[in-house]
Amino acid sequence: MLAVQVLINALVLGCLYACIAIGFSLVWGVLNVINLIHGSFIVLGAYLAWGAYNWSGLSPWYALLIAAPAFFVFGYVLQRLLLNRVITAPVLVTLTLTFGLDLILNNAMIYYFKADYRKLLLDPPMGSISIFDVVVPIDRLIATGAALLLTFLLYLLLRRSRVGRAIVAVRLDRDAAVLMGVDVKSIYAVAFGLGAALAGCAGVLMALIFPISPLTSSAYLGKAFVVCVLGGLGSVSGALAGGLLLALVEGIGSVYLGPAHAVTLSFVLLIVFLIVRPQGLLGRKGFE
């Protein structure tokens, strides 16, 4: 029964991991920028859900509807005003720039919300369902469903819509996309905005499950790194595969080695993957 429980936990957690990583993966794939502010976006989204529930009694599902457009605009403006100026600079510059932004946002959150851990407690609590001996909390289940839905929506957007096709085109070949009349700067801003929106939504979902504190942003960022590298960059299915693999490895690792070693294990896995299979599980060679 333990094996089934571990598997179910991994499945639930894996979808959430995918949701954390997918915006990060989109930005990395399309803009070629490692977006270090991603973790703080997620935490900000979590605070949004917490604030909406505690101050105006708004359920987290509505918070999701506020978070998506608000974060999109935030990300879009950030990209237009700041990141687009250095987008062609070497890795070091863009990476350090997003690090600076992250310092500002994180400091602002510590300043306003303090570093205390908070928890979004739904009233009444949702409880959990148990089938045989396998227990799954309902809030986790719903958050997982929402995460899958978001992932699917992004997939649809990239596949079906005009702007989505343009994003994919820029990712595949920037110069060819310019020649076909795609406005690359605005596509960059849209992609960054989408990444921010996904991070904000992921944050709202995380608020249902994990404690909220500005200090947790680096943990989210670390997960996003690992998932992206495991699954392969920029693809929706890659993020899902990476998320599931990471959750599975962490689950099995914490059962057999103890939970303290789960984080170490995931980073060792990351380094091994970087060296052996840098294109990720589902990526194609030469496409990273």
Q: Which of residues 36 and 150 has its CB atom nearest to another protein in the complex?
A: 36
Side chain identity at residue 274, one-letter code: L
- Min CB(94)–another protein separation in Å: 9
Residue 273: CB minimum distance to another protein, A: 10
Q: Is 105 or 146 the residue whose CB approaches another protein more closely?
A: 105
For the CB of residue 217, give the shortest distance to another protein in the complex, in Å.
Answer: 12
Cβ proximity to another protein: between 125 and 278 the closer is: 278
What is the Cα–Cα distance from 62 to 39, expressed in whole angstroms?
A: 22
CA distance 16 to 190: 23
Q: Which residues bind another protein (CB under 8 A)?
A: 28, 32, 34, 82, 85-86, 89-93, 95-97, 99-104, 106-108, 111, 218, 222, 225-226, 229, 260-261, 263-264, 267-268, 270-271, 274-275, 278, 288
- Residue (137 or 222) nearer to another protein, CB: 222
Q: Find the shortest distance in angstroms from Cβ 7 to another protein.
A: 25
Q: What is the DSSP string of 13-50?
A: HHHHHHHHHHHHHHHHHHH----TTHHHHHHHHHHHHH
Judge whether 8 and 193 are in contact, CB under 8 Å: no
Q: How far apart are CA 152 and CA 237, in angstroms?
A: 10
Between 148 and 215, name the residue whose CB sits nearer to another protein: 215
User: At its nearest, how many Å lie between another protein and the CB of residue 93?
Assistant: 6
Nearer residue to another protein within complex by CB, 40 or 144: 40
- Could you tell me the smallest distance in angstroms from the CB atom of residue 169 to another protein? 21
Strand partners, 131: 134
CB closer to another protein, 15 vs 37: 37
* Minimum CB–partner distance for residue 116 and another protein (Å): 15
In sequence order, which ranges of the chain are alpha helices (DSSP H)?
2-31, 38-56, 60-81, 91-113, 138-160, 162-172, 174-179, 184-209, 217-231, 236-256, 262-276
Q: Which two tokens stand for residue 174?
A: 């920037």
Cis before 278? omega within 30: no
- Comparing CB distances to another protein, the nearer of 108 and 122 is 108
| 199: nearest Cα among 78, 55, 281, 59 | 78
Smallest CA-to-CA distance from 18 within 136, 170, 137, 152 is with 152
CB of 223 to another protein, least distance (A): 11
- Bridge partners of 118, per DSSP, are 212
